Amino acid sequence: MRQFLLMGSAGCHLCDEAAIVIVSSLDPLKHCVDEVDIAYDDQLMDRYALLIPVLQDELSGAELRWPFDTSQLQRFIAQFD
C-alpha cells in the first residue's frame, strides 16, 4: 500500500477541498493518506505555511501542490503504481 501525507492545517478550507478530491479519487486498497497538521511542527510550518494543501508521497518525497483536480491527482499517483 502506497502511503501519502496531506500537509494542511485545521480551518484551512483549501485543505478540505483537497481532501474531497483525494477521497473521491484514490483507491483505499492501494493508497493510504494521513493528514498532517503543520501547525504542530515548526519545520513543517516554515516549509508549507504558504503552500498548503500539499500531497506528498511518503516514500519518494514527491509533492503535488494545490490546486489540483482529479486528473492531475491520478497522474501524480500513477507514477507510483
Pairing type for strands 31-37 and 63-65 reads unpaired
Domains belonging to the chain, first-starting first, are 2-78 (3.40.30.10)
Residue 76 neighbours by CB under 8 Å, 6+ apart: 55, 62, 64, 68
Per-residue cell: 38 = 503543520
The single residue listed with the C-alpha cell 504542530 is 40
Q: What is the model's pTM?
A: 0.95
pLDDT at 21: 98
Average pLDDT over residues 1-28: 97
pLDDT in tens, 24-74: 999 999 999 999 999 999 999 999 999 999 999 999 999 999 999 999 999
Q: Are 69 and 20 in contact (CB under 8 A)?
A: no
pLDDT at 44: 98
For residue 81, pLDDT over 90 is answered with: no
